[in-house]
Amino acid sequence: METIRRALEWARRRLEAANVEEPRRTAGTLLAHVLQRDYLYLLTRPEEPLSESAWAEFARLVERRVQGEPLQYITGHQEFFGLDFLVTPDVLIPRPETELIVEAVLDLARTRDSEVLLIDVGTGSGCLAVTLAVHLPRARVLALDLSEAALAIARRNAERHGVHARIEFLASDLFSALEALPQLPKADFIVANPPYIPEAELPTLPREVRDYEPRLALIAGPDASSVQRRLFADGPKFLKPGGYLICEMGYGQYPSLCEALEPTVWEVVEVKRDLQGIERTLVLRRRA
């Protein structure tokens, strides 16, 4: 019968041979998931035997990771801004650089005493909508996504974190669902992590991204900035004068996005860089 120690060592070698990043950590995460324990449990009970069913399930999950399936889809979870989010292949895996959007909103919203309205365009897992609702107790959020499957995951995450009463989820191609409302909402903030990878770059992406994450959330089409351009063009209709549009952008996109901005409408407030020094988050203010 396999022990925790031997199972972890087998998995480390198997993952290492397949060139999986951080094989030791990955092995520990998968075994902790199977046993429904934390990593400390594994460290303090290395000689504890595994049941046959636990060993079989662990081996199966290791092979899924060896084949390239992202760890987050295997376990069904990803941490974002200190919160745990459910994730499936229907949604993009939340990434640390997207937390820059949350930081930008919180920095700007903390000076406001009144209730704020936020629009999250392309909500996916709901990581932005839910996190902002958690940290801004007086905020209302409209969370939009073209994918009904993604909206279902986002609703579950809102319920898990107790903010579902303040978030309205709408099936929408960017702002299309809002266009149909009797009165256009006027938000204090619009946030978006839009698709910004050009179609031609799809074959060059890591297999975990290329083969498993939803293309709808990744690929902008032939023009990498096409979705952002639509945000810049249509966003002012749903944003108060003095309100902010904060969106993520890809490597090297900033100069071309600046060319797409109408200077009489938008003021560039800030460009935030990620941990690699890449210009990642664009903070715009709608001129009065």
For 122-162, write each residue's pLDDT tens digit.
999 999 999 999 999 999 999 999 999 999 999 999 999 99
Q: What is the mean pLDDT of residues 151-177?
A: 98
What is the predicted pLDDT for the residue at 288? 87
3-state SS class at 168: strand
Nearest to 115 by CA among 132, 140, 94, 134: 140
Query: What is the rounded CA–CA span in Å between residue 93 and residue 1?
Result: 35
Question: Which tens digits make up the pLDDT trace of 26-43?
Answer: 999 999 999 999 999 999
Q: What are phi and psi of 179, to 5 degrees?
A: -60, -30
Query: What is the rounded CA–CA span in Å between residue 11 and residue 112?
Result: 51
What is the predicted pLDDT for the residue at 34? 98
What is the predicted pLDDT for the residue at 20? 96
CB 273 within 8 A of CB 280: yes
Count of CA atoms in the C-beta half-sphere (13 A) of 8? 22
Q: What is the mean pLDDT of residues 258-271?
A: 96
Rounded percentage of the chain residues whose pLDDT exceeds 90: 97
Q: Is pLDDT at 111 greater than 80 in this prediction?
A: no
Regarding beta strands 239-248 and 279-286, do their DSSP bridges make them parallel or antiparallel, or are they unpaired?
antiparallel
Question: Which tens digits make up the pLDDT trace of 45-92?
Answer: 999 999 999 999 999 999 999 999 999 999 999 999 999 999 999 999
Question: Which tens digits make up the pLDDT trace of 135-146?
Answer: 999 999 999 999
Question: Which region, left, alpha or beta, applies to residue 20 given φ > 0 means left and ψ of -120 to 50 means alpha?
Answer: beta
- pTM of this structure: 0.95
Nearest to 94 by CA among 113, 73, 65: 73
Q: Is pLDDT at 1 greater than 80 in this prediction?
A: no
